[in-house]
Amino acid sequence: MNIDRRTALGLIGLGAASPAAAQTAAGKVSFKHGVASGDPLQDRVVLWTRITPATPGGQISYRWALIPVDRRAGGAKSGTGVTGPERDYTAKVDATGLDAGRAYTFTFEAEGVTSPTGRTMTLPAGPTKDVVFAVASCSLYPQGYFNAYRAMADLPRLDLVLHMGDYIYEYGGPGTYGMDSAVAKDRAHAPAHEILSLADYRQRHGQYKSDPDLQAAHARAAWIVAWDDHETTNDSYANGAQNHQPATEGDWTARKAVALKAYYEWMPIREPKPGQSLAEAAARSFKVGDLAQIIMLETRLTARDKQLTYDNDMPMADGKPDLAAFRTKLYDPARRMMGPAQEAWLAGELAGSVKAGHAWQVIGTGVFMARVKIPDPAKDFPADALSSLDEAARGRLRRWGALAGQPYGLDMWDGYPVDRERVYDMIKQAGARPIVVSGDSHAFWANELADASGKRVACEFAGTSITSPGGGDAFKTFDIGAVFAKASDEVIYNDQSSKGFVLVTLSRDAARGDLVAVSTIVDKAFTVRTAKSFQATPEGKGISGLKEV
């Protein structure tokens, strides 16, 4: 599964049909949004592109071709298809009959115009030495350049990308989230308003996929994607969202439906099976030979109950927060991140993976699982921290003081602790060795996850954002990540300033996470560094703690 850097660069378009060349022939059609692949299995992979017509309205016929990188006789595949306005001129092919563990290049062709060249790979079968994949999330277009995606594309080896959500953001217009960035004037959201309609969501996906660095990362390797909230709207749950007001923005079910339709059109994700809804189909798993099973969860739109918030749900007693009453609400056994059907499916996937002899179970979830506590300004912060902050930041810390020690992320698994404990019970019952990978928080985390008794059940690598602002952007005079690590027993390391991705390497002997950071997101010239590296190893029927390497 190795590929050298020069070959990799050739496969993403250098020495093949480049994006510029692919858009000029005859002016009939163009491939402005690149190519992508995803959801690889041992015998198939999804291929994707979008064909932009010079004159929209009619149907477009296309051909696709898939060629083994090794050029050995046999194995090439090709076919035809038709796309049109009913799916926004996107084309998606589930190419079958492929060889396990084999690398391929692929292209599309329409009306004499050839797309850029992409590279993909099927998953291996049988004995597998190792696998290398990137974990990414949270790419806010106006906030900065997608340098981290470019850094992924330039890696000497990359077998897969796991994108944990917030691939797009729904905001738009002057003064909205991200528009205070130094480069926002050149990267304003289109359309220039919050997206609500199917046409809006399609246009926003198209804008993001017009970015050349994102295109390069898609062309470099197959992606396994999950959504979080911003693919619909902020802090979404099964029956609504914080950023959806029915009185002015219409029916939530209708908005969710058009957001997911656009997502399935524009992302290299396998279409649902007959009888499956779009949301239900997002929970799926992938076997990486005898080494690992990747299990992707859906924790937003199928069963999640409305998030609690300290502002809206905290009972008061004698003018003070009634924390005991709040915890009664928080620990209500009926509160769900996942429904019973997905929980049963997860239990079966974990048990089946252990029975198959996999060394690791990779659980992908949009939000982090660790118990993270609100820091105490009196104990956890540097002595001079308050004096270095502006009044807005000091006000935030005063509020934290009243809630110190309480769960920090009520939109995370911390907001659904009984459901999280059910997941931990499944892990222990199966005898699994899970590595949890997650996103959403705009920060790097290396966490050791423990059940209610304090027994370690998993380790977690949570990726920072590609561009979206984190806590370090607000607290610039001291290390807020170190403060969270000090306050929370499960947090081994936290970096709330860096932008980048986690590069995970799994072998039978170790699970390693390199926290890869780019030097800037406001300049196209950037450097890449590894901020920290941590490793876990098998330990009996469980997993060791994280060690810095």
List pLDDT tens digits, range 259-290. 999 999 999 999 999 999 999 999 999 999 99
pLDDT at 83: 98
- 40 assigned to some structural domain: no
Alpha-carbon gap, residue 97 to 206, rounded angstroms: 30
Contact 134, 503 (CB under 8 A): yes
The answer to whether residues 281 and 298 touch, using CB atoms and an 8 Å cutoff, is: no
3-class state of residue 461 by DSSP: strand
Bridge partner list, 240: 237
Q: Which domain holds residue 440?
A: 126-372+407-548
- Number of folded domains in the chain? 1
Write phi, then psi, for 413 (nearest 5 degrees): -65, -25
Closest of 120, 117, 116, 118 to residue 103, by C-alpha: 120
In a domain, 63, yes or no: no
Which residues are CB-neighbours of 31 under 8 A, at least 6 positions away?
A: 19, 22, 23, 49, 50, 51, 52, 108, 113, 115, 116
Please name the residue that has the structure tokens 């997993």: 543
Residue 170: inside a domain, yes or no? Answer: yes
Contact yes or no for 330/313 (Cβ under 8 A): no
Query: What's the pLDDT tens digit per position in 353-407?
Result: 999 999 999 999 999 999 999 999 888 988 777 777 777 777 777 778 889 999 9
Residues near 114 by beta carbon (within 8 Å), at least 6 away in sequence: 17, 22, 25, 107, 108
In 10 A of CB 540, how many CB atoms? 8
pTM of the model: 0.94
Helix or strand or coil: residue 183?
Answer: coil
**The token pair that represents 204 in the structure block:** 């926003």
348 domain-assigned: yes
Q: Is residue 456 part of a domain?
A: yes
Would 165 be classed as within a structural domain? yes
pLDDT mean by block of 10 residues, the chain; 549 residues: 34 35 58 98 98 94 97 92 98 98 98 98 98 98 98 98 98 93 96 98 98 98 98 98 97 98 98 93 98 98 97 92 95 96 97 97 98 92 78 77 92 98 98 97 98 97 97 87 96 98 98 98 98 96 95
Residue carrying the six token digits 């009520």 = 410
Phi and psi, residue 68, nearest 5°: -60, 140
Instruction: Report the share of the chain in percent with pLDDT over 70.
Output: 95
Q: What is the CATH number of the domain that holds 184?
A: 3.60.21.70
